[in-house]
């Protein structure tokens, strides 16, 4: 399945969730939050097309990773492709996190593909970056409106940050 990426997966990331993680940066986000850290990922025609099979192969062959994180760009605008990768991540017993500019409640009422991706996640960091609520002391997120949510089958278990 095709996926538009901002760049190759980042290995050994320590800023996108706990432990050592492989981070997949998708390309494309219409939200254009002032102060966004990744404005180069906004353009839906930039980046490059890859195949999810390639990404799954990289994840399988990369050792010593605690999990995989989807970032961007807006991961939930490519939910079907990321669900394909996410199923593979879970089959390897790795943890799966995703960032999203959408809230959990918006995604729970989203497309079937978005709901499918949501059901695979262990943790969702939700909501857009809001410059007026920027807080440099937050872990794994940039503004205090964003929530770090532990999920099971797409349902909220607990807010962990």
Give the interface with ligand SF4 as residue ranges (CB under 6 A).
29, 31-33, 36, 38, 41, 72-74, 101, 128-129
Report which residue's Cβ sits closest to ligand SF4. Answer: 101
Contact at 8 Å (CB) between 86 and 96?
yes
Phi/psi-derived region of residue 137, left when phi > 0, alpha when psi is between -120 and 50, beta in every other case: alpha
Q: Is 73 helix (H, G, I), strand (E, B) or coil?
A: coil
Report the 10 Å Cβ neighbour count for 37.
10
| 29 vs 55, beta carbon nearer ligand SF4 | 29
Query: Minimum CB separation from ligand SF4 for residue 31, in Å?
Result: 4
CA distance 59 to 29: 24
Contact at 8 Å (CB) between 125 and 141?
yes
| 38 vs 62, beta carbon nearer ligand SF4 | 38
| 12 vs 43, beta carbon nearer ligand SF4 | 43
Per DSSP, what are the bridge partners of residue 22?
68
| 88 vs 146, beta carbon nearer ligand SF4 | 146
Query: Minimum CB separation from ligand SF4 for residue 7, in Å?
Result: 14
Contact at 8 Å (CB) between 113 and 148?
no
Query: Minimum CB separation from ligand SF4 for residue 41, in Å?
Result: 6
Query: Minimum CB separation from ligand SF4 for residue 102, in Å?
Result: 8
């Amino acid at each position: 399945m095709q996926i538009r990426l901002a760049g190759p997966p980042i290995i050994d990331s320590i800023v996108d969730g706990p432990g050592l993680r492989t981070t997949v940066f998708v390309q494309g986000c219409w939200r254009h939050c002032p102060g966004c850290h990744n404005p180069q990922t906004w353009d839906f025609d930039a980046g490059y097309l890859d195949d999810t099979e390639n990404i799954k192969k990289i994840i399988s062959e990369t050792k010593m990773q605690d999990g995989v994180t989807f970032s961007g760009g807006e991961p939930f605008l490519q939910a079907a492709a990321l669900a394909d990768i996410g199923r593979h991540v879970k089959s390897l017993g790795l943890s799966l996190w995703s960032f999203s500019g959408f809230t959990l409640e918006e995604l729970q009422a989203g497309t079937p593909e978005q709901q499918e991706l949501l059901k695979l996640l262990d943790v969702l960091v939700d909501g857009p970056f809001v410059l007026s609520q920027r807080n440099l002391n937050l872990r794994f997120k940039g503004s205090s409106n964003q929530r770090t949510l532990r999920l099971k089958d797409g349902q909220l278990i607990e807010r962990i940050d």
